[in-house]
Chain A
């Protein structure tokens, strides 16, 4: 069965500190992994996907198939990074399976 686990409900860091939002998945195959972000009172939006191997707003995420992880990282947190982050997996055009989300709070 497909499952996405985000172990932390809330993560608080100081501005300028490194951030790592954890995501582990279970899937019998080669999934596509995504990170979505939801800023306060805004719609859910795609932050990045593992296939692109890109850095968006300073965030990166590397797919580790051995550890079945797709942790989201940023070296220096900014206040505007405060939001709800969801890790999700899919395969082609199949529906996304979301983790429960982690609320990131960046403290000034």
Chain B
């Protein structure tokens, strides 16, 4: 059973559209992360969330990105205006050791 559950498993969107990726933790933890992996490339850190606040973000995580925990349990990663280069697998993970969810494959066309 995954540590976190992500939806959708695959999202296809047109360039310039907004997308929202969701992550549901199985149990309560303090640390959550979003990572992404462009096809054939390294897993890259995007943002960390500690105790319901952003604790750290990478240079990738620019103004186009936002993360929320709207109801105290689910996490969302929003990309406001998608670009072709946003196409990647997006992973939610809990804890510093990064127990990953199954990922959302985002395809921007």
Do A and B originate from a single complex? no
Which of B's residues lie within 8 Å of A, judged by CB? none
